[in-house]
Chain A
Amino acid sequence: MEFRTEVVDLASNIAENCMGHEEAFCVAACPMHTDVKKYVAQIGGGNYQGAMETIREKLFLPNTLGRICAHPCEVDCRRNTEFGQAISVAGLKRFVAEKADNKELWDVKVKASTGKKVAVIGAGPAGAQAAIDLRKEGHAVVIYDKLKVVGGMMRVGIPEYRLPREVIDFEYSYLEDLGVSFQMGVEVGKDISFDELRVIYDAIILAHGAHKGNLPPVQGKEAKGVFHAVEFLKEISFTHKFVRGGKRIAIVGGGDVAMDCARSSWRIGCDEVFLISLEDRNNLPASQAEIEESLEEDVKFNNGWGTDEIVKNEHGAVSSIRLKKVASVFNEEGRFAPTFTDETKEIEVDTVIFATGQQVEDITGGLLEQQGGGRYDVNPDTLATKLSDVFVAGDASGGVIVVEAMALGRKAAKSVDRYLQNRDLNKARHIKKELSYKTRLDVPLPKGTVNLPRTSGNHREARERKRDFLPYDLGYTEEQAKKEASRCIQCECKLCMTECIMLNDFTECPQDLFSEFIDKGEIDPVIPYSCNMCGGCTHVCPNDYQIGEAFMGMRKDFILHNDGKSPMEGHKAIEIHQMLGFSKVFCTKVKGVK
């Protein structure tokens, strides 16, 4: 039967805009859309294996991410936006990974072989994720990396005290379990040409990261003792030493890489560590935790200073760094264009490390154009390039953090899979949901929500930890993890579902119920005739949806199509009841007189 337009319109509006299935802030913010809300609840309930299975639905390196993820989920966490005290999502992930992860939980199913071969350049998080996804689709995948070890920047950029190498190796063993092949220590462009790869493989994903460190145009940068963060951290990763450096070191930069350099400097035996940033303390790009931990380790911050000149001694080696006071970092249009005052100061150092960004090296021999930072020109929706068989992921396509690199790896893999099947790269694809997005969820805080402080972790004493590469953060105890998980608000709407018994009999949320009505063009009359029109749903709905009105509209249509009668058998009694209620036997009217 046909429903009137106003009924369909009312139902469509609810179907489209009801927040019943709108993701929680954390889940939407995570580029991989890990079901944070679910696994945090599972940890809170002591279901560690369940939590692990939830995490592994999306992430192959939970322990790694638990330690080093920049956790956009925590930025958007309601406890952060309301109280400035996010749930320690990463900390909880690490806890449960250490507690419950084991190979038996790993899903190593792959589809039947497609006969297609894909080369992934780079064994970092983007390449690894792309390899996993493509292998699962049944394609043969070979990862090439010029390093002999897996992990990419996680291995040679992120210091070992933050991420123990055995964690990377264990979690990467999943790729071998899936049957991904590795060509390690093979540099594309030197050991094998990009053109050769294109002949051998049906598709290629470039995920070789940004490993090229360019020094900024500073006077004296050619002095002995000036290095880029990339080579500094890489050598330390392999040897726990940096033999070309001295004891008094200046790190130039204000981001997490600068903090990594500064904190690593203590660990290789430096006596004095200075950090020099253009930004003032409150505007450092580094994460708050990294800043605090660096300060605990006695890194001497010089915020709001730029490098004027690296001063050399008679041997051409660094003797000091002269700084000039920053007047402003950005111009009126908000672009990076630092200006300085006349004030200067000089710090005696023998080593200077520039942690001022790194670039993507071109390994295509100029076949692909590169933009700022060396990032390849790509279609941001599909990561396709002008070469139909070549796709890009991770830093090479513009990612910034590990979990984002993974999401870009997944995106590239999805495109490659479609390309290999000759399917359209864009069609029926939820592009928005392939990376971090803002949820539409807009609900009041649950009644009784109070500000509970974040459970602090167990960091080793700064004095002790700054002299070795052992993990500085010991992770949560079980008791701490449960306490922390219990702070989660479990953000969702479904307020009507907590209010209405009837809706729960028929649906998970109004969005489902009305979508089904719209899709099928029909509804079992028992549904609209079970609503008692009390308005309780509308009262609690943040959007004030007139759910009862929608059901009322349906009722009217049922009556119109049923000779003016209700389709419900039981309503015959009401008909009689109403008839009597209007009959002369029970009715009267009397005019009042004084």
Chain B
Amino acid sequence: MTQKMGFMPGCSLPSYTPEGVKKTMEYLKMVYPDLGGVQKCCGKGTKALGQEDKFKERFAGLQKDIDDVGIEMMVVACQNCYKTIKETSDHTNVESLWTLLPRIGLPEEVKGKGSVSDVVFAIHDSCSTRYEKEIQDGIRWILSELGYRVEESEFSREKARCCGFGGMIVPANPDLAMRVMKRRGNDFDSDYVVVYCAACRSSLMKAGKKAFHILDLLWGPVIYNEEPAPEDVLSSPAKSWINRYKSKHAVRKVVKA
């Protein structure tokens, strides 16, 4: 019997791109018509501060939501959500969108779209999943299916370096965070970097890179050299929360469609 599938956009992704969330869910809904949806924080932030009890309480809230809507297999697009659910939930299965897409394939209309691009993208892997080779492979598969050219840096995959955002250091030690961001930016020869975490994208933008979320490439227009990257939305709390609100409605709308 197949498991009941659901999608959870997380925090930074819905704050960055409601459109990306919507399109991703629409596609998943085509493949899994009974796709469910949950938008809530996984509690990683609370956990990272060291608030064990509060984290347990908050994760229990998320777990209840997942259970209420009968989701057995949660698809996530955030590496921290992936790790948190995997390590914490005793009965909900989790799969990364980046390993699911290679299995179900990309929509015909996006295949090869990047082959006309003159951009060579560097890839920034998320440090939280440095040992998840399948996720890293999935990202490269998606880029290859899209037809984009990529270059590997010395510090990729298990050698990935932090973007500077992790571990709640930005509010605790902003000067250090900025240096970590700059260093990460300098790891890449190319100005154009593709990421698969919206928070990482924001960091690399601050480091002066033209950073694209892989969903930007998947659902958005073809990117050419000299084109700017999308705005660093996460730097603006107001815009972020408005987006998060929009994403919430996108989740509801797509699931109920």
Near A by CB (< 8 A), chain B positions 22-76 give: 32-41, 43, 45-46, 48-54, 58, 61, 65-66, 68-71
Given the complex, which residues of B lie within 8 Å of A578, measured CB to CB?
A: 41, 43, 45-46, 58
Near B by CB (< 8 A), chain A positions 541-594 give: 548, 552, 554-559, 564, 566, 568, 570-571, 573-574, 577-578, 580-582, 585-594
**Distance of A51 Cα from B119 Cα, bound (Å):** 51
* A581 pairs with B45, CB closer than 8 A: yes
Cβ proximity bits A493-529 to B, threshold 8 Å, 1 near / 0 not: 0000001011001000000000000000000001001
A550 to chain B: closest CB distance in Å?
Answer: 12
Residue of A nearest to B41 (CB): A581
Given the complex, which residues of A lie within 8 Å of B244, measured CB to CB?
A: 586
* A526 pairs with B58, CB closer than 8 A: no
* A532 pairs with B158, CB closer than 8 A: no
**Distance of A548 Cα from B47 Cα, bound (Å):** 13
**Distance of A557 Cα from B49 Cα, bound (Å):** 11
Contact status of A532 and B167, CB under 8 A, knowing A526-B172, A570-B172, A588-B248: yes
**Distance of A526 Cα from B171 Cα, bound (Å):** 11
Contact status of A526 and B173, CB under 8 A, knowing A564-B54, A592-B69: yes
Cβ proximity bits A327-348 to B, threshold 8 Å, 1 near / 0 not: 0000000000000000000000
Report if B255 contacts A (CB, 8 A): yes
Q: Is the interface of B mostly helix, strand, loop or mixed?
A: helix
Contact status of A534 and B41, CB under 8 A, knowing A529-B169, A556-B50: no
Tell which of B11, B40, B46, B49 has the most Cβ of chain A within 10 Å: B49
* A574 pairs with B251, CB closer than 8 A: no
* A591 pairs with B69, CB closer than 8 A: yes
* A532 pairs with B171, CB closer than 8 A: no
Given the complex, which residues of A lie within 8 Å of B164, measured CB to CB?
A: 532
Report if B102 contacts A (CB, 8 A): no
**Distance of A586 Cα from B33 Cα, bound (Å):** 24
* Interface-located stretch among B175-183, B205-213, B224-232: B175-183
Which of B45, B50, B68, B171 contacts A570, CB < 8 Å? Answer: B171
Given the complex, which residues of A lie within 8 Å of B159, measured CB to CB?
A: 536, 539
> Number of contacting residues on B, CB 8 A?
64
Which of A533, A580, A592 contacts B255, CB < 8 Å? Answer: A592
Report if A535 contacts B (CB, 8 A): yes
Which of A499, A566, A582 contacts B61, CB < 8 Å? Answer: A582
* B172 pairs with A590, CB closer than 8 A: no
Given the complex, which residues of A lie within 8 Å of B43, measured CB to CB?
A: 578, 582
* B174 pairs with A570, CB closer than 8 A: yes
Which of B32, B48, B180, B252 contacts A533, CB < 8 Å? Answer: B48
* A530 pairs with B173, CB closer than 8 A: yes
* A530 pairs with B176, CB closer than 8 A: yes
Report if A531 contacts B (CB, 8 A): yes
Residue of A nearest to B45 (CB): A578
Residue of A nearest to B180 (CB): A501
Q: Is the interface of A mostly helix, strand, loop or mixed?
A: helix
Given the complex, which residues of A lie within 8 Å of B141, measured CB to CB?
A: none
* A571 pairs with B171, CB closer than 8 A: yes
B249 to chain A: closest CB distance in Å?
Answer: 8
* A574 pairs with B171, CB closer than 8 A: yes
Which of B37, B70, B248 contacts A586, CB < 8 Å? Answer: B248
Given the complex, which residues of A lie within 8 Å of B169, measured CB to CB?
A: 502, 529-532
Given the complex, which residues of B lie within 8 Å of A594, measured CB to CB?
A: 33-34
**Distance of A536 Cα from B128 Cα, bound (Å):** 10
* B173 pairs with A529, CB closer than 8 A: yes
Which of B38, B61, B166, B172 contacts A568, CB < 8 Å? Answer: B172
Given the complex, which residues of B lie within 8 Å of A589, measured CB to CB?
A: 36-40, 65-66, 68-69
Residue of B nearest to A581 (CB): B41
Tell which of B38, B53, B167 has the most Cβ of chain A within 10 Å: B167
A40 to chain B: closest CB distance in Å?
Answer: 28
**Distance of A558 Cα from B68 Cα, bound (Å):** 35
* B162 pairs with A536, CB closer than 8 A: yes
**Distance of A559 Cα from B48 Cα, bound (Å):** 11
Report if B91 contacts A (CB, 8 A): no
* B39 pairs with A588, CB closer than 8 A: yes
B245 to chain A: closest CB distance in Å?
Answer: 6
Residue of A nearest to B29 (CB): A592
* A536 pairs with B161, CB closer than 8 A: yes
Report if B133 contacts A (CB, 8 A): no
Cβ proximity bits B225-257 to A, threshold 8 Å, 1 near / 0 not: 000000000000000010011001001100110
Given the complex, which residues of A lie within 8 Å of B161, measured CB to CB?
A: 499, 534, 536
Residue of A nearest to B255 (CB): A590
**Distance of A103 Cα from B33 Cα, bound (Å):** 88
Report if B6 contacts A (CB, 8 A): yes
A3 to chain B: closest CB distance in Å?
Answer: 12
Given the complex, which residues of A lie within 8 Å of B39, measured CB to CB?
A: 586-589
Contact status of A590 and B36, CB under 8 A, knowing A531-B167, A585-B245: yes
A sample of 13 more A-B contacts (CB under 8 A), given A539-B130, A574-B171, A591-B255, is A501-B183, A502-B169, A534-B127, A555-B48, A559-B51, A566-B172, A578-B41, A589-B37, A589-B68, A590-B256, A592-B4, A592-B6, A592-B255
Sample of 5 A–B contacts (CB below 8 Å):
A526-B172, A578-B45, A587-B41, A590-B251, A594-B34
Interface residues of A (CB under 8 A from B): 499, 501-502, 505, 526, 529-536, 539, 548, 552, 554-559, 564, 566, 568, 570-571, 573-574, 577-578, 580-582, 585-594
